[in-house]
């Protein structure tokens, strides 16, 4: 792996003073500790673009490259001087002062959807017979958030693997909320079965509590006890007016719903904002369709970039206006990038060597590009960022101790971050 260097080209060390890079006299450990102290109440919105978005058609355009590489789209200026994005991303362009783009993320040669999806959603290199836990699952497990609201929610439909609790167990899976763009949207698991009233559910709850109490009196080691917290959380959610209101999209003004876009991703991102505002600590929003081996430009223009741009740009603006952006880390990411050369089907294929990730809020310094690729967006030429480095950056922003270790049911230790270092330039 390439060595990280500072702004003078020297090798990065753990206790390197970072003053010349604009971080005062703070050492890396001091910076991480400061972030952890500030981010006790940070939330996470993880926007997953399943299939792999093309870096050279979004955040890392190469207008001077040959046509078979640069593609059909032109760059446009953003509200930050010197930073350009694709012409199909005008709303994102107006929020660029709040967005940090990591242009030099690399997973080297991991180019399969299944393995790369697991890698980029967990930050841990996948191995056989092991399901690692997603960023959201690890976050809520480490912080042990309490309350009626589910700590981790998934919006729309999860794709591939790596999005859940993995070895941590189903208690750390996201609560699946479905598609808030559906007509007459309701969260199925929050509604009583047809013909069953809340009073009847309440009586069942009382019977279960009495049964558990009697069982514990007989056998204090009963396995049934381990289910009590999850069952009680489910009952609390069904009976909580706050929870039901948080998932009620009709609470939002029509104009604001229109501003996000009446699309799956637009309404999904609006739902994410509603949830973190109501106390949910991690929200994953999944958007498929980015595996553009054929008709890349047609798909981007008609189905993918316009709704994502509208919803994502509006999310950043809305969080900022509500005073929530500083306490909400937003991550926009896919499993890899796309090939520089356009193939015979007007598509782009898998490309893990160099791709872009966008970060905003949660202690991230916006209005900047970190890292660079060559003239074809094919190879990293400046500041390589490994997936482990990205993981360390995300968890630092969220205030999670990077040195913590979890254990599988068999007792195997799993480090939260395996050797990665935070991208300090991205952190305020």
> Domain of 400: which CATH number?
3.40.720
Q: Which of 9-23, 332-346, 366-380 has the lowest mean pLDDT?
A: 9-23
φ/ψ (deg, to 5) at 94: -80, -10
Position 99 in a domain: yes
Position 216 in a domain: no
Given a cut of 80, whether residue 273 has pLDDT beyond it is yes
Give CA separation, 4 vs 10, 13, 137, 144, 377, in Å: 8, 9, 29, 34, 20
User: 199-258, pLDDT tens digit by residue?
Assistant: 554 555 455 555 555 555 555 555 544 444 555 555 566 557 888 899 999 999 999 999
- Give the bridge partners for 370, in sequence order: 102
Position 21 in a domain: no
Q: Which residue has the tokens 């940070």?
A: 42
Position 129 in a domain: yes
Hey, what are 222's tokens? Answer: 């009963």
Q: Which of 17-21, 145-149, 326-330, 413-417 has the lowest mean pLDDT?
A: 17-21
Q: How far apart are CA 134 and CA 354, in angstroms?
A: 22
Cβ-based neighbour number of residue 177 at 10 Å: 25
Hey, what are 365's tokens? Answer: 């310094």
Hey, what are 137's tokens? Answer: 């699952």
Hey, what are 77's tokens? Answer: 């200026």
pLDDT attached to residue 379: 97
**Over residues 181-193, mean pLDDT:** 78
Give the DSSP H or E segment for 340. none
What DSSP character marks residue 87?
T
Q: Which residue has the tokens 């958030």?
A: 145
Q: Of 382, 364, 420, which is closest to residue 96 (Cα–Cα)?
A: 364
Residues near 417 by Cβ (< 8 Å), separated by ≥ 6?
Answer: 123, 388, 391, 392, 395, 402
Q: How far apart are CA 362 and CA 394, in angstroms?
A: 9
Position 233 in a domain: no
Pairing of strands 175-176, 152-155: parallel
Position 227 in a domain: no
Position 9 in a domain: no
pTM of the model: 0.84
pLDDT attached to residue 252: 96
**420: pLDDT confidence band, cut at 50, 70 and 90?**
very high
Position 381 in a domain: yes
| 74: containing domain | 42-187+247-426
Q: Of 199, 197, 207, 195, which is closest to residue 231 (Cα–Cα)?
A: 207
**Over residues 299-308, mean pLDDT:** 98
Hey, what are 118's tokens? Answer: 């697991």
Could you give the number of structural domains in the chain? 1
Q: Of 192, 211, 213, which is closest to residue 201 (Cα–Cα)?
A: 192
């Amino acid at each position: 792996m390439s060595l990280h260097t500072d702004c003078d080209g020297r090798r990065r060390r753990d206790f390197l003073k970072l003053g010349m890079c604009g971080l005062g006299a703070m050492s890396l450990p001091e910076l991480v500790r400061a972030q952890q102290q500030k981010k006790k109440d940070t939330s996470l919105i993880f926007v997953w673009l399943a299939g792999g978005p093309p870096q050279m058609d979004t955040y890392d355009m190469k207008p001077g490259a040959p046509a078979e590489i640069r593609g059909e789209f032109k760059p446009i200026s953003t509200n930050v001087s010197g930073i350009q994005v694709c012409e199909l991303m005008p709303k994102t362009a107006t929020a660029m002062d709040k967005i940090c783009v990591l242009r030099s993320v690399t997973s080297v040669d991991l180019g399969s959807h299944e393995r790369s999806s697991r890698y980029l959603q967990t930050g841990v290199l996948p191995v056989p017979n092991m399901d690692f836990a997603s960023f959201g699952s690890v976050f809520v497990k480490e912080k042990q958030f309490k309350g009626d609201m589910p700590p981790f929610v998934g919006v729309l439909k999860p794709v591939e693997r790596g999005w859940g609790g993995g070895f941590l167990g189903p208690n750390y899976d996201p609560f699946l909320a479905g598609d808030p763009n559906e007509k007459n949207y309701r969260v199925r698991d929050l509604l009583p079965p047809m013909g069953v009233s809340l009073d009847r559910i309440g009586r069942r709850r009382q019977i279960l509590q009495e049964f558990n109490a009697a069982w514990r009196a007989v056998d204090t080691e009963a396995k049934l006890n381990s289910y009590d917290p999850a069952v009680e959380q489910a009952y609390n959610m069904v009976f909580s007016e706050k929870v039901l209101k948080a998932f009620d999209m009709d609470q939002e003004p029509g104009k604001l719903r229109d501003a996000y876009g009446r699309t799956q991703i637009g309404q999904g991102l609006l739902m994410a904002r509603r949830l973190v505002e109501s106390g949910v600590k991690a929200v994953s929003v999944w958007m498929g369709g980015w595996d553009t081996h054929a008709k890349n430009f047609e798909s981007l223009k008609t189905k993918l970039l316009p709704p994502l741009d509208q919803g994502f740009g509006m999310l950043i603006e809305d969080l900022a206006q509500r005073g929530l952006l500083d306490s909400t880390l937003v991550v926009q990411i896919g499993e890899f990038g796309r090939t520089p050369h356009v193939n015979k089907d007007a598509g782009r294929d898998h490309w893990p060597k160099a791709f872009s990730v966008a970060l905003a809020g949660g202690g991230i310094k916006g209005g900047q590009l970190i890292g660079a690729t060559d003239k074809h967006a094919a190879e990293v030429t400046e500041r390589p960022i490994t997936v482990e480095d990205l993981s360390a950056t995300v968890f630092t922003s969220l205030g999670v101790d990077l040195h913590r270790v979890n254990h599988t049911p068999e007792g195997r230790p799993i480090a939260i971050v395996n050797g990665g270092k935070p991208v300090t330039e991205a952190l305020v």
